[in-house]
Amino acid sequence: MSEEQRWSICPVEDCEFAQEFDPDAPAFCPDCGMELISQCPSCKGPVRLENQVNCNECGLPFKE
């Protein structure tokens, strides 16, 4: 089994930018300047997929 992977994703619906979560990496999308999401703003559940659109824990949409 692989390690639990985490991603940072851009919250903009039309933007597909994603990077593997790295606490030292820039926290903003290089394409649109939005702050990247690496955990659910509501329940703090981690982002597990580079193309994840909803929180696995509470279902909150990540894309707006």
Residues that bind Zn ion (CB under 5 A): 10, 12, 15, 17, 29, 31-32, 40, 42-43, 45, 55, 57-58, 60
Cα separation, 36 vs 19, in Å, equals 9
60: left (phi over 0), alpha (psi -120 to 50) or beta: beta
Closest CB to Zn ion among residues 22, 57: 57
First-to-final CA distance of the chain = 32
Closest CB to Zn ion among residues 45, 50: 45
From the CB of 23, what's the least distance to Zn ion, in Å? 19
